[in-house]
Amino acid sequence: MISIAFALWSLAAQASPFVQTVARQELVHYGKLAYDRRCSGCHGANGDGKGAAAAWLNPKPRDFTTGIYKFRSGPLGTMPSDDDLMRTLSTGVAGTSMPAFHEMPERERFGLVEYLKTLSSEWQDPAKRGAPVQGAPYPVADFQEHKLFMERATRGRKIFAEACVLCHGLAGRGDGEGGADLTDDWGQPIIPANLRLKTIKRGKSVQDIYTTLLVGVNGTPMPSFKDVYTDDALWDVAAYVLYLRGEEDGLYGDKIPLSPLTAAEAP
């Protein structure tokens, strides 16, 4: 969540148009200084993803001028909230060259959030401002009790076989035949996530898995499944992905068979 300091700034800005204008201009200026010092080497002086280090990085640094952000809490196709941007800045993106800047002073991070919003005209489109998607509440007990967890994961396997195997592969290693020649919206090759790794790019928790299923990933072939399956059923899929993450390490005494798929489960 955004800190109390930023919340107080937001309230002050809402109270006075003058304060709003001056405060934001000040933050944007401060954010540009921080961007030039910390971000331009990868993301480029103009935010186009063509910094001096970009040629050696895979995946490539984000091109902020397109207004396409992978990680948000709003519906697919919308822009991230301030909270979303602060979270990415603070935690980084696993499996990429984007580090966690949690030790960066908050003022710099607040400034960077505002400065990023000057790099694309997409931020001015009201249709791109989406409220956070609300899914089913986190069923904590089902992930704490082994029997309940395995029941959820078993149900989730059936949905996984139907919706995910084509790209992520039967065992979730990102080697499905449908993922061989995928590209993202920047024209770069993209490989489906290996779901057996300890984390996905959004984060390490099962809530991160669930959010990815709920809202999808902008700029990639990963869709939102909110309108395909019930919100609660997506917790079943999240449970199965969590099961895959720990299965090879022997975290679960019970086994959910990976194959063969039944005719009803085959995509």
Segment 140-163 shows an average pLDDT of: 95
CATH class of domain segment(s) 4-128? mainly alpha
Local confidence band at 19 (pLDDT 50, 70, 90 cut-offs): very low
> Tell me, what's the pLDDT at 253?
75
Q: Matching CATH topology for 4-128 and 142-247?
A: yes
The model's pLDDT over 202-260, given as tens digits with 9 standing for 90+, comes to 998 999 999 999 999 999 999 999 999 999 999 999 999 999 998 877 787 778 876 65
The model's pLDDT over 25-68, given as tens digits with 9 standing for 90+, comes to 889 999 999 999 999 999 999 999 999 999 999 999 999 999 99
Check: CB of residue 235 under 8 Å from CB of residue 210.
yes
Mean pLDDT across the chain, nearest whole number?
89
Q: What percent of the chain has pLDDT over 70?
A: 88
> Tell me, what's the pLDDT at 20?
58
- CATH architecture of the domain covering 142-247: Orthogonal Bundle (1.10)
Distances from the Cα of 110 to the Cα of 71, 102, 250, 262, angstroms: 18, 12, 42, 51
Local confidence band at 16 (pLDDT 50, 70, 90 cut-offs): very low
Tokens of 129: 């401002």
Is the pLDDT score of 8 beyond 60?
Answer: no
Is the pLDDT score of 263 beyond 60?
Answer: no
Cα gap 232→116, rounded to integer Å: 34
Is the pLDDT score of 4 beyond 70?
Answer: no
Local confidence band at 267 (pLDDT 50, 70, 90 cut-offs): very low
- What pTM does this model have? 0.86
Is the pLDDT score of 83 beyond 90?
Answer: yes
DSSP codes of every residue in 121-166: GGGG-GGG--PPP--PPP-HHHHHSHHHHHHHHHHHHHHHHHHTHH
> Tell me, what's the pLDDT at 170?
87
Residue spans per domain, the chain: 4-128, 142-247
For the chain, the helix, strand and coil percentages under 3-state DSSP, each to the nearest 5: 50, 0, 50
> Tell me, what's the pLDDT at 174?
95
Is the pLDDT score of 9 beyond 70?
Answer: no
DSSP codes of every residue in 11-48: HHHHH-HHHHHHHHHHHHHHHHHHHHHHTHHHH-TTSS
